[in-house]
Structure 1
Amino acid sequence: LSDLTRGFVADYRVFRKGEGCEGATINRDLCALSAFFTWLEEERGEHAARPHFRHEEESAGRERWLSADELRGLLEAVPATWRPFFALMVYTGLRLGEVVGKDGSPALRWGDVRLSEGRLTVQGRTRRLKTGSSARDVPIPDQLASLLAAHRIACPGGPADPVFPHPFTYGQAQKVFNRGCEAAELHDVRVHDLRHTFAVHAIQSGLPLPRLQKLLGHSTPAMTMRYARHAPEAYFSEDAARIGASLSGATDREAEAVRRAVVQRANPA
């Protein structure tokens, strides 16, 4: 612990930049180190000198997303056995590692998928130091439910079995995806862009940012705010109308009118 000084942090920044790492990557590394010091204090009762963690500037980030037509072309281009896999990613916004298991995330298992309820549970990363659960529930649209139901017949398994067993691996998924993009004539598209596609279409459909943050499993609102600019202009006028109605008391009057109607219906003369 005595080696974790401000000088060490400065040298680490230089080293990571020399490897070509972006500011966001370096910030995540330093956040993990900061979380370690917090864990030492809260869980072990050890109070070590905490170095100053200055955040690096982060770029706006890459954002490539697919239109409905592009997505349709991609799903038609990939092998039929892989169609449920990529449909799951784009209809739920899951990370590739959350589907097959990677970087501390367990693979999605059949016990996590509840087709009858129309939802699945993404288990939290096992490597996180914080004690609170980071699991989240994500809805399963009807378009995806039918594909998963057929996939379960083709790949049956118990609650503890992965939804996508071998050969559905991290590396193989990227290879199949790249070949599908080439066949569909989609350029500059990566597997992670399916997650961006989910987020953009969710915002365009009117999903509130706080709800999208929960569905994506973002730790901070700032990570989700990048998608705010995709909100349709029409929603701004609707929001203005709601705010104006509340400030003028119209919302309260409407609520009172509804309450009276319910009372009258329950107690007819």
Structure 2
Amino acid sequence: MALKINKTAVKEAKAGDKPQELRFEDGLILRVQPSGVRTYYVEVARGKRVRIGRVGTVTPAMAAEAAKRLSVKVMGEGVEAVMPVRAITLEKFIADVYEPFVEHEHRRGKRTAEDLRRSFADLLSTKLDRITSRELDAWVRGRREDGVKAATIAREANQLQGALRFAVERKHLKVSPFDTWKAPNVPQGNVERYLTTQEKAAIRKALSDRDRQQARERASANKWRRERRYPELPMVADHVMPMVLVLLNTGMRYGEVVKLEWQAVNLTTRTITVVGEKAKAGRGRIIQLNDEALKVLTTWRALTNRTTGLVFQCDGEPIKSIKTAWKTIKKMSGVENVRIHDLRHDFASSIVQRGGSVYVVQKLLGHGNVSQTMRYAHLADEQAAKAVALLDGHKRGGR
């Protein structure tokens, strides 16, 4: 007959050379470690137990009540209803559980899994039960800083919501954070943010200053390591400055630059070929390189000594984010309220203001419809108005 637990039984449970267990009613177990730590468990099935808590935090009466409650639940709902969920990371869940399912059930299943990895790269190493409202709020802020539109953020959030709902169904998660999280309104703000000549100069100077600072810090670290006969760190070239300058001079999307490979860069013909499968909506295009972009890529190729693979990489892997570096650059330059995506807007506006056709800009940006590019048309109108105003000067001159 099983014993009833009481304070005396718990107090008399002494530590030995090996872990010991005392068994009580309703499957309640008191496990005593050689260190003296005593912990309550409830055995709900052969080889399956649920941890209640340690002696001192949980009283004997509380442990007995928990054991009785779990026993009743097992009888009514089964063992799985009380077993703790073993949380896995989002990355492992997608690879081992979700991707095989959606790939089999949906035509775009593989693309959905890839979208999740790309959109939630910063959360891949997070365990499912640690993805909370706070993490989702931070994710929204980060996506907006990257220049992602509100509609895209909403679509990406819906994809994760579906994945986590499936995680709950498959017992990898008890409750989805989307049950209590409400996606905040993500204002678009002034998407047509253009840079002045002074702002561009300040950003270029900040990039150069940061690049030299990175080199000095690495050299200082290696000096310290040499003095102590530690292995030196490799003097690698920093990717932030060339990436930003390529973005500024080509109008490419951040995601396109991250995926850019040397095979798509032709320094002889001064072109970059954005292949369809790596472009938004699958639309490819050819971009002409101006003098600065050509110089940046030529120098970068010489520094990295690579002619194949990704143009910008870290240990052979794509660059995930330069948000931290971009914040530093904004602070150093004094240029505020500018996102990485605004470099694309500035590229387009600069061409239009210098007389370039809206239709040329459409091709360079890879817009599927010219209506997307017409946001820059008013800049051409402004330039035309200034040109016509020059006639007034001729009249005042007596011509």
Q: TM-score, normalised by structure 2?
A: 0.41
> Structure 2 matches for 1:194-233, cutoff 5 A?
194-231=343-380, 233=382
Q: State whether structure 2 residue 122 is matched by structure 1 residue 25.
A: no
Match for 2:202 among 65, 69, 73? 73
Contact 1:63–1:193 under 8 Å retained in 2: yes
Following superposition of structure 1 onto structure 2, how do residues 83-98 of structure 1 map, counting pairs within 5 Å? 83-98=241-256
CA distance in 2, matches of 1:149, 1:166: 19
User: Structure 1 residues 164, 198: CA separation in 2 closer, same or farther (over 3 Å shift)?
Assistant: same
Alpha-carbon distance in 2 for matches of 1:225, 1:70: 25
Give the unaligned 5+ runs of structure 1: 1-18, 30-57, 101-106, 240-269
Question: Cα offset for 1:232?
Answer: 5.2
Give secondary structure in 1 for the equivalent of 2:314: coil
* CA deviations over 1:122-172 (Å, ceiling 9, x no partner): 1224598x8xx621001100112112111111112233x11111177232x
Counterpart of 1:163, as a letter, is V
Tell me the distance in 2 between the aligned counterparts of 1:23 and 1:94.
Answer: 16
Query: CA 1:151 to 1:62, structure 2 compared with 1: closer, same or farther past 3 Å?
Result: same
Closer, same or farther: CA 126–119 of 1 in aligned 2, 3 Å: closer
Give the letter aligned to residue 65 of structure 1. Answer: Y
- State the alpha-carbon separation in 2 of the partners of residues 230 and 127 from structure 1: 26
Are the structure 2 counterparts of residues 182 and 217 from structure 1 closer, same or farther at C-alpha, using a change threshold of 3 Å? same
**1:204–1:232: 8 Å Cα contact kept in structure 2?**
no
Measure the CA separation in 1 of the matches of 2:190 and 2:203.
23
Structure number with bigger Rg: 2
Amino acid at match of 1:204: Q
Give the letter aligned to residue 25 of structure 1: A
Aligned AA (2:275):
Q
Match of residue 177 from structure 1: 326
Please report how far the alpha carbon of residue 193 of structure 1 lies from its aligned counterpart in structure 2 after TM superposition.
Answer: 0.8
Q: Give unmatched runs, 5+ long, in structure 2.
A: 1-139, 156-186, 212-237, 389-399
Please, which of 257, 264, 268 is the counterpart of residue 99 of structure 1?
257
The match for 1:64 is 193
**Are 2:353 and 2:383, in contact at CA under 8 Å, matched by a contact in 1?**
no
Alignment correspondent of 2:290: 141
Deviations 1:90-124 (A, max 9, x none): 10001111111xxxxxx101111111111111122
Are residue 154 (structure 1) and residue 303 (structure 2) matched?
yes
- Partners of 1:97 and 1:68 lie apart in 2 by 26
Residue 123 (structure 1) aligns with: 275
Aligned letter for 1:153? A
Q: Give the distance between the partners of 2:386 and 2:366, measured in 1 at CA.
A: 29
Aligned position for 2:18: none
Higher relative contact order (CA 8 A, sep 6+): 1
* Contact preservation (8 Å) 2:270, 2:294: yes
Residue 166 of structure 1 pairs with residue 314 of structure 2: yes
- Aligned residue pairs total 182
Q: Percent identity?
A: 28
Q: Give TM-score scaled by structure 1 length.
A: 0.59
Change over 3 Å in CA distance of 1:109–1:180 after alignment to 2: same
**Aligned counterpart for 1:112 among listed residues 264, 268, 271:** 264
Distance verdict in 2 for CA 1:90–1:126, change over 3 Å: closer
Structure 2 SS opposite 1:231 = helix
CA distance in 2, matches of 1:191, 1:153: 26
> 8 Å contact 1:97–1:170 — kept in the other structure?
no
